[in-house]
């Protein structure tokens, strides 16, 4: 039996009106694909994303990362 993919989403707070819609759509799409969104991390802007992604890559409980 296959296990569910464990996903982390990193989303920028900058342009929150837009990124919140993107986050909602990403979560909805993940649910439709039976992907478990294990963690949602908010960062101030896109320049902060690489640091959060690097941290998440070290987490063995995360299989994939999406940045918004």
Rounded CA separation 40/10 (Å): 6
Entry pTM: 0.91
What pLDDT score does 1 carry?
A: 65
Residue 57: CA count within 13 A, CB half-sphere: 7
* E strand or H helix at 36: strand 36-43
What pLDDT score does 2 carry?
A: 75
What pLDDT score does 65 carry?
A: 98
Rounded CA separation 2/65 (Å): 19
Mean pLDDT of successive 10-residue segments in the chain (68 residues)? 89 95 98 96 95 97 97
């Amino acid at each position: 039996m296959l296990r569910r993919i464990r996903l982390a989403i990193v989303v920028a707070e900058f342009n929150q009106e837009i990124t919140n819609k993107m986050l909602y759509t990403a979560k909805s799409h993940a649910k439709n694909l039976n992907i478990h969104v294990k963690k949602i991390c908010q960062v101030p802007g896109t320049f902060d994303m690489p640091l959060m992604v690097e941290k998440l890559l070290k987490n063995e409980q995360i299989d994939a990362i999406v940045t918004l």
